[in-house]
A = this chain, B = another copy of it.
Amino acid sequence: MAPITIALDAMGGDHGPSVVVPAAALALIRHPDMRFILVGDQSRIEPELGTHPALAAKSEIVHTDVAVAMDAKPSQALRRGRWKSSMWLALEAVRDKRAAAVVSAGNTGALMAMAKFCLKTIIGVDRPAIAVIWPTVEAECIVLDVGANVGADSRQLVEFALMGASLARALFGMEKPTVGLLNIGVEEVKGVEQIKEAAAVLKEAPLPIRFHGFVEGDVIGHGIADVVVTDGFTGNIALKTAEGTARQIAAYLRAAMRRSLLARVGAVLAQGAFGALKEKMDPRQLNGGIFLGLNGIVVKSHGGTDATGFACAIDLAYDMASNGVVERLASDVAGFHAKLELEGAA
């Protein structure tokens, strides 16, 4: 198999190269066929790379002095960072086919604005979305949009469903993913107009999905749907609320286990089990917002994550690249529009 090259925005995130470089070294151990383009300040990347000779042998540095600030507004970032920032040059490597995917822990709004400008939206897609992989009791599901847009009309919701299903097919290897629309009640009467309209389209449209209908917030994590579709505002609130609840319960659990001597002894005996639980609940394991609908793979890592978390975002980019997510998605979208046109002409 040909090596897969990932472009890394080495200056993104709260820690820059001191997290990005060790993360790449970790990911390389898991996927020795990876290559890296590290974009950023050479004088900061090189010392880090010096301690990872295996990675250094498979990496190329693209130097730039310009980095997008974590608090830059998207328009500002575009104005100041276009053509020259580490974020832009990493995206450019994907655009020019020198890399198969880009991973950045930089500011989400700036990354989306630059990615749209540099990679362009896939033909037939109105607006890109951000998808995440959400752990469920059974396995995992895909939730989108979690924040690329603050709202979504029915057409956009249908496109999100289509893109989420393409991703599920590529990453989970399933033929007909189950798709649910997030709503506040499962009865057909409930919810806002655009969601009802999207449901009507998804029920009838010639899509390679099984449409489950409406799902409520409490079943996202129960694995009822492989893809859960919502607008970026609601999806972002749901995602963060779930993260906050998990942290809150972890805090309760720690406090409970310190409560008495017996509990402490019990916790020591059960430490293997707690270790497995901790790993299952570790947000770093599922780090990575997937930008869908662009002509290229873009994964956004949490800004504050460590090397373990950033390496998971790199793994995700690698999986998407090896499964040809962009090509599949473009072909699914084209197929959908072709069928709609045929139907319209018939």
Q: Copy number in this complex?
A: 2
In the complex, which of the residues A182, A237, A242, A267 has the most CB atoms of chain B within 10 Å of its own CB atom?
A237
**Segment at the B interface, from A3-11, A156-164, A169-177, A256-264:** A256-264
Task: Say yes or no: A218-B243 contact (C-beta < 8 A), given A184-B237, A260-B272.
Answer: yes
Q: How far is the CB of A59 from chain B (nearest CB, A)?
A: 33
Q: Does A334 contact B (CB under 8 A)?
A: no
Which residues 251-309 in A have Cβ within 8 Å of B in the complex? 251-253, 256-257, 259-260, 262-263, 265-274, 276-277, 280-281
Q: Are B234 and A220 in contact (CB under 8 A)?
A: no
Partner of A189, one of B73, B191, B270: B73
Partner of A252, one of B150, B241, B243, B281: B281
Q: Give A contacts to B, CB under 8 Å.
A: 71, 73, 135-137, 147, 150-151, 182, 184, 187, 189, 191-192, 216-222, 230, 232-234, 236-249, 251-253, 256-257, 259-260, 262-263, 265-274, 276-277, 280-281
Interface CB pairs A-B, < 8 A, 20 = A135-B248, A150-B191, A151-B192, A184-B236, A192-B233, A216-B236, A217-B237, A218-B240, A221-B247, A222-B244, A222-B247, A237-B237, A241-B241, A246-B249, A249-B249, A259-B272, A260-B273, A263-B270, A266-B271, A269-B269
